[in-house]
Every structure is written in C-alpha cells, then in structure tokens.
Chain A
C-alpha cells in the first residue's frame, strides 16, 4: 500500500516538472520579445540579453510611435475589425436563431447548403475572380465581406440557441402576440450575451491577425492593415524609410539603421499584439467556451 502511494507521489512530481518545462518553453519566446523590446539593440543582437532586459531603453517604442505607416495600419485594422465584427454578428445571429427553430421548413436543405461549403469550396482563384467582379478590389469590403461568416460559426451559434432558449419561452411570447423580429430582439438577444461575446471575439481575433486577404485584394498602401505593415517590417526587412528620415535625418549611418531596425522590430510586435494579450486572460473563459460549443457534434 505504501509503495503504491509513493509511486503516485513520484508520478505527481514528474508530471509537475513535465508541465513546467512545456510551459516555460512555450512562454520563453514571448518573454524574450518583451525584454528585447526595451533593451539596447546592441545587447540583443550580440546575445547578451537572453532573459531580462539589458540597458533599458524605450527608444523602440518612440520609433514605432513616430512611424506613420504603423499608425495608418493600426487605424485600418481597427476599422476593418470593428466593421467586420458588426456585420458578422448582424447576419450570423438572426440566421443561427432561425435555424434553431422547429417551425422552420426546409431546414435540412438550408443546413446542407451551408455545411457543404466546409467540405468543398471554389478555391483561391475563382473566389478572387468573384471578389474582383463585384468591384471590391482595393476596398475595405474585400477584407471584411468574403469571410464574413463561416459554416462553423453558424453551427456553433445555432447549437447555443438550441441549448439555451427554451421552446416554452418562445411559444409563450408568441401567444402573447409577439412576432419573430420582436421576439429575437427583446427576448432572445438579451439571453445570448455569451454567444455574442464568443462569436465577436473569435471573428475579431481572426480579422485582427489576418494578412492574406489584404495581400491579394489590396494594392493601395494607405489601406493596408497592420499585419501587412508588420510583414514589411519583420519579414521583408523594409524598415520604413519615413521613420528613418523624420527621426534623425538622412545622415544616418548604416550601422545606425540596423540598430534602429532591430529596435523597431520587437517594439512593433508588442504594440501589435498588445490589445489581444491584455484582453485575452480576462476573456479566456469565453474563448474556451467557444471551442467547446463548437465541438458539440451534430
């Protein structure tokens, strides 16, 4: 008996160590980025800085705030995300509610019509041609509309309505003479705040983080979302000329520019991810909930 308990304790210890190691490995790159963003680039680039900030400086953030392209990108992303989330909710929620109602005819057909798009789609080029032919190229709508609702969100929201809105409630209101629009606005929506939060968060995060539709549909730089600007700075190494010129004049040496580049890099990562990382721990339960409702099998 005692041997059995001892081995359980040993198991616990090994398990805690295992989880700790995995957690540390996962969190280390994030800590590194945070530290690097407020350290002297010299220390970062030579490997002196590897965990905690060395030679504290907030120059990187100053450069980021001086960079016009980043601000324009930020503004665009906020607009695209806000507009996108609003349209998403506006067309998703009523539809999912309607699909959750028993009296809806042809429900099976409508569900198949939507679910089939999960199985098969036109693919990149035919979709691009549609977006082009409706005149959305180089407008905000190309970012916001083509992915505005997915079959998955329809299923999730519908499952939520089925589980939480009792039939008796709807029948009672109907007897009282309420029509469906009134019922949806005044009775169903107030009971549905969790699903509204879940859907808005998932879609908002996706919009905030996406770059590909902007890459193929936008060519006007003043419309670029933040992620495309990040791509230029972080991956293509096009550290924006305007920050160099307006900050210290054209007389910057090459070494100086390299230094600035790496300073800006880490700071811009922090600035772009900040809204999500701040908000996320508080909303974690909503995200988890979203994944779980989504896993309910039809």
Chain B
C-alpha cells in the first residue's frame, strides 16, 4: 500500500527542486511579465467592449452585450469605403517602395571602404533620428504656398504655387516620400550586413569567367541576400495598415481628409476624441484581424515559394 506512483512523484519533486534552486531567475522575470500582463493582455481582454455597449460605471465586464452592432454600423457608415480605400492605397504605395533601400544597399556595397562610404552612410542614416513632429514641421515650412522653398522653385518654373499640404491629391506622395527620406539610409543596415557575409570566392570565380560588375551584383549579391529580403518583406506586411499613423495624424487637416482619413486616425477620432469607446474598439479590432490574416497568408506563401519564413 505504501507504493506511490514513483515517476509522478519524482518528476514533481524534480520540478519543484529546479524551481526552488532558480527562484531568483523567476524573480527577474516577474516585472516584465506583470507589465505585459497589465498593458497587453488586459487590453486584449478589454477588446470585448467591441461587442458591448461600454459604460464606464458598469465596467468592461458588466456592460451589456450588443453583438456585432458596432461592426455593422461601421461597415454601413458613409466613411467605411473611404477609410478602407485610403488605408490600403497608402500602405500599398509604401510597400511598392520596399526595394529602394535594397538598391541603395547594393550600391553602397560596391563602394570601396573609405571615408566616402562612411560619410554617405552617416549622413543618410541621420534623418532616422528626426522626430515625426519635426519632419511634418519641416514639410509645413518647405511646402508653404507663400514662403516655402518648394513653391519658390515652382514659381521659378513659371507655375502657380501649389498648396501641397491642403491638396488631397498630394497627400500620399508627400507622406510616402518624406517617409523614404527618413528611412532609406537606415533601411540599408541589415542588407549591408547580409552583403558583408557573401562569399568572396563566388565573386572571384565569376570574375575569372568574365562577369561584369552588374552581372555579379544581380547574380551573386542579390540572390545571397534574398532570405533577408523575404523576412523583412513579411515583417513589413505584418505592419501593413499600421505604419505611420502618428505622422498621418499630424499631416491631416480638413482640406486633405479625403485622402488622409485612414482607419487608425478614425479610431483615434471616434475613440479618444469623441469617447465612443466600443465603436472605436470594434474598428480597431477589424483592422487587427485584417493585419493578422495578411501576415499569416504572406508567411504561408513565402514558406511555399522560397523556404524563408518567420515561422
């Protein structure tokens, strides 16, 4: 009768012993886990207000369920298609420019190591450290119809000054290209590191065979960094619809909202400014779901096509 399941006991005992021996490691993890719990998992729990009518005095749990009412209201609203269209176009535009840092990195990589290469790297990385507020502030100053530098140039060409920041047709170009200005140099870092790992023997062999520089870049360097490109591309898709919202908010005004209204600015407007918490949470959830679907799909495709994927 004294026989107990020996395996189970000894395993539990082992786990306990291992835990006690390393209790300080768990102590190390406690603050971070608490942080993630409170500021990431409780908000996830809070998403249920998207299906409820949230009243502050009833709390998240006590507020009454309303099902998909907020979603229906959003899908049927006048703004829905405009928001969706603007969000998709803006992000697709950014995605199209994804190859630019790759091209610039391939080009930098062909420079001999020396002061010129170093300087061009240092200078092109710099805009990465400029805050969005300052970037938009610079846009406001440069693009001013009366005093802005760009419009002085436009006048020089004999054209009428263009009100860039209040013209809906200019918003996307300005947004996306000022973003490129900020991130082009910084975006080359990972590619340059990948290029540094390319086997020099490949280049030697190709040289013997008479390959030109251009051929070697396209046939050796580019394929060598393909895995890096694929992973970064998937990561970019993962942020699809979320990039640059803070900048959009700063650039937005009544006159350009026709193209600058995106889902996230609408969430901010309805949720934070107007206090329609449930409605805004529903829109935010809708966006997150699209995002996850995109990420999983692209990852799946990448795994099939190229053997490179996030998981």
**A-to-B contact residues, CB < 8 Å:** 4, 7-8, 11-12, 15-16, 18-20, 22-23, 25-27, 29-30, 32-33, 36, 44-47, 50, 90-92, 94-95, 97-99, 101, 103-105, 110, 113-114, 117, 119-131, 134, 145-146, 148-149, 154, 179-181, 184, 205, 208-212, 216, 227, 230-231, 233-235, 262, 265-266, 269, 272-273, 276-277, 280-281, 284, 287-288, 291-292, 295, 297
Stretch in contact with the other chain, from B1-9, B74-82, B87-95, B137-145: B137-145
Q: Give 9 A-B contacts (CB < 8 Å), ordered by A residue.
A: A4-B212, A25-B181, A46-B147, A91-B32, A113-B33, A126-B45, A127-B43, A129-B277, A230-B131
B140-168 interface code vs A (CB 8 A; 1 in, 0 out)? 11100011010011000000000000000
Shortest 4 CB-CB contacts between residues of A and residues of B = A122-B43, A234-B137, A47-B152, A126-B46
Residues in A whose Cβ lies below 8 Å from that of B212: 4, 7-8, 11
Residue tally, chain B, CB below 8 Å to A: 90
- The verdict on B42 contacting chain A, using a C-beta distance below 8 Å, is yes
Main secondary structure of the interface of A (DSSP, over half): helix
For B43, B108, B147, which residue has the most chain A Cβ atoms within 10 angstroms? Answer: B43
- Docked Cα-Cα span, A15 to B217, in Å, equals 12
Q: Closest CB of chain A to B144's CB: distance in Å?
A: 8
User: For the complex, is B25 an interface residue (Cβ under 8 Å from A)?
Assistant: yes
Q: B122 and A281: CB pair below 8 A? A: yes
Across the interface, name the chain A residue whose C-beta is closest to B186: A291
Bound state CA distance, A272 and B142, in angstroms?
Answer: 18
Tell me, yes or no, whether B60 is within 8 Å of chain A by CB: yes
Quick one: given A15-B110, A231-B133, are A291 and B32 in contact (CB under 8 Å)? no
The listed residue (B126, B138, B214) touching A27 by CB distance below 8 A is: B126
Q: How far is the CB of A106 from chain B (nearest CB, A)?
A: 9
Q: When the two chains form their complex, are residues B47 and A122 in contact, meaning their CB atoms are under 8 A apart?
A: yes
Number of CB contacts from chain A to chain B under 8 A: 261
| A29 adjacent to B181 (CB under 8 Å) | yes
Interfacial chain A residues near B179, Cβ < 8 Å: none
Question: In the complex, A288 Cα to B192 Cα: how many Å?
Answer: 11
Least CB distance from A23 to B in Å reads 4
Neighbouring A residues of B38 by C-beta, 8 Å: 130, 134
Evaluate contact between B137 and A149: CB separation under 8 angstroms: no
A47 to B133, CA, bound (A): 24
Query: B140 — which chain A residues lie within 8 A by C-beta?
Result: 234-235
List residues of chain B with CB within 8 A of the CB of A276. Answer: 129
Contact A11 B213 (CB under 8 A): yes
A95 touches B127 (CB 8 A): no
Q: How far is the CA of A269 from the CA of B136 in the complex (A)?
A: 11
User: Which of A122, A148, A179, A234 has most B Cβ within 10 Å?
Assistant: A122
The residue that A148 contacts in the complex, of B21, B35, B190, B228, with Cβ under 8 A, is: B35
Distance between B275 CB and nearest chain A CB, rounded to angstroms: 10
**B123 on the interface (CB 8 Å rule)?**
yes
* Neighbouring A residues of B129 by C-beta, 8 Å: 205, 209, 273, 276-277, 280
